[in-house]
Amino acid sequence: MSTDAPDILLIDDSPTTADLFKYALKVNDSQVTIQAVYDGQSALDMLLGNGQPASAQLPQLILLDMHLPRLDGLEVLARLRAAERTREVPVLIYSGSAAEEVEAEALRYGANGYVCKPAGFKDTCAMIKEIERQWLKRAD
């Protein structure tokens, strides 16, 4: 694995979602880089080391799915917030649920924000553009 950190680390169990995001970045003509990790434990291993050397650099933003294999999104978030290395990295919870209770729980665990999974490709492009503008401070 390269020691160059991506702009966004996507932690989601779906390779299809990762491919969709990469394609949306291309369609948006974005220069943002994204890397995907497909389960919570692998994400923690990469970010915190967990017995191995951690990645040299951290991403600018973590986009974290709530429902992951091995460790769920809230457990990953709690561990990221407990670790000095990752405490300040912005984390957006990415979920299919629009329930206010789910969003409130994510914020209690230390998420910086919450976004609902978009319904289609056009909405995915718009969501990625908004994340880029708001969280990565990139212009349109």
The tens place of each residue's pLDDT in the chain, 140 residues long, gives 445 778 999 999 999 999 999 999 999 999 999 999 999 999 999 899 866 666 668 999 999 998 898 889 999 999 999 999 999 999 999 888 777 888 888 999 999 999 988 889 999 999 999 999 999 986 55
Which residues does 87 contact at the CB level (< 8 Å), separation at least 6?
80, 81
Query: Do residues 108 and 131 touch, judged by C-beta distance below 8 A?
Result: no
Secondary-structure class of domain 8-131 per CATH: alpha beta
Query: Token match 């910086």: residue?
Result: 112
Angle at 34 between CA 31 and CA 38, to 5 degrees: 165
Name the H helices within the chain: 15-27, 40-48, 73-82, 100-108, 121-135
Query: Do residues 131 and 92 touch, judged by C-beta distance below 8 A?
Result: yes
pLDDT score for 51 = 62
CA–CA gap between residue 52 and residue 22 (Å, rounded) = 28
pTM here is: 0.89
CA–CA gap between residue 41 and residue 50 (Å, rounded) = 9
CA–CA gap between residue 98 and residue 101 (Å, rounded) = 9
